[in-house]
Amino acid sequence: MLIDLLSNAHMYYNQGARFKKAFEYLANTDFSKVEKGKYELDGTNLFAIVNEYDTVNPDNEQMESHKKYIDIQYIVTGAERIGHDFLQQQTPSKAYDEEKDFMLWGEKPSFYSILREGMFAVFFPHDLHMPNIMIDKASFVKKVVIKVSVDQ
């Protein structure tokens, strides 16, 4: 996993052309004018999901992971806490759903990070993550999740 400021995204262009295109899209898009929804950047190889929500209490949440896509989660407005862990010997609480590309994990995160406006996190298939968590109280967040296909 990676956590950084969008202003440093150029340092990750070496992850491949899809990463470069994703970070350029984030840097060059005025998301105040972009509605919630899914936006194709390169077919199923690279697409963005723009979402708005109120952060939630972690008590009823579970960590998730993906197999087909890497997540780039970028905070446009607001801030949230994200729980993390590394995929090791855990057993999923919800088996992998191939169509939705996710599985859930019942263990509590080993550590947390706070993402604020202008920050992003990258979650690879071996990174368990619990996003959308409130910091002190529920608050509004606008976030873009870019899905980067692991098939290069």
All domains in the chain, ordered by first residue: 2-149 (2.60.120.370)
The pairing of strands 140-149 and 46-54 is antiparallel
| Displacement of CA 40 from its chain's centroid (Å) | 16
Q: For residues 46, 149, 128 and 96, what is the CA-based torsion angle, rounded to 10 degrees?
A: 110
What pLDDT, on a 0 to 100 scale, did the predictor assign at position 96? 96
Please give the DSSP secondary-structure letter assigned to residue 6.
G
- Among 69, 130, 59, 61, residue whose Cα is nearest residue 98: 69
Over the stretch 36-65, which tens digit does the pLDDT of each residue have? 999 999 999 999 999 999 999 999 999 999
Q: 23, 7 in Cβ contact below 8 A?
A: no
**What pLDDT score does 152 carry?**
64
Low-confidence ranges of the chain (pLDDT < 70): 152
pTM of the complete model beyond 0.85: yes
